[in-house]
Amino acid sequence: MATRRKYTSKRKKQTLISPKSFKWILGLFLLLCTIVFVYQKKDVVLYYLGFKYKHATLTANQRKLEDKRINEIVANHEGKIFGIDVSQYQGTIDWENLEAIEEQFEIKFVVVRATAGSKKVDRNFKKNWKNLSSTVYIQGAYHYYRPDENSTDQAKNFIKNVKLRKGHLPPILDIEKMPKGQSMDKLKEGLQNWLTIVEKQYGVKPIIYTGEKYFEDFLRDDFPDYLFWIANYNPWKEKIEDDYLMWQFTEKAKLHGVNELVDVNVFNGNVEDLKEVCIK
């Protein structure tokens, strides 16, 4: 009779923590870190989430936070210049006394809203444009594009109301909204149509203004030949990107000469660089 060969049993090595348990522990650790971070930055987070789209009077603490951020961004952009953009929502502007509070930055350029959609003219445009012409600021005008209105009519609306000359910024197209009655491809066709008509009229390629996410998702690849002015109010963004012409980093600046809050922008260069962008 054959004898049985005895085999030693091989037991699997037991680990102290299973892979599944490790994932849970790691997840809880990351969650805890996030909670601690948010708690430490709670004032900034609540301010950013709660007031991102509201032009309202800020509390003293909110004003302090926003001024601190503006000062930090100004300090991060030594050698670059700053400007503002305004519309009817800023009300009547005292152009002779216009300046940043506590001299946070020096205003070098001002962009005003001229038109919106196929028919609307900003109710303060003519007054702002005329008064701005008597100041030392480099000036520009923008059109607020309404995605579901005819692009040719929108271009004609801008051209009818805005007279640009040498030394002015190129015409600016503001696109922020998603279309409701058409596809994104159709929207891009409309944007290109507006840009082409306006460029033919003024003899200079327009600038495109939009939000950072909109730019990255829809416009960067389809409009590579245009300069972009990007809005991003994220409190943790510290510097302008190399491929931005301008960065709108706040909509909550407080200026002398304006009763309402104001958007502030940093241009990616100095005054001479900006003049090179202007109409020749």
Catalytic residues: 85, 176
Of 242, 175, 248, 241, the residue nearest 214 (C-alpha)? 175
- In sequence order, the 6+-apart residues with CB closer than 8 A to the CB of 276 are none
Instruction: Scan for tokens 């299973």, then name that residue.
Output: 18
- Of 120, 127, 119, 126, nearest to 95 by C-alpha is 127
Residue pair 122/88 in contact (Cβ under 8 Å)? The answer is yes
Which residues does residue 250 pair with via DSSP β-bridges, in sequence order?
A: 264
| Cα gap 271→269, rounded to integer Å | 7
Six-digit token pair at 232? 């991003």
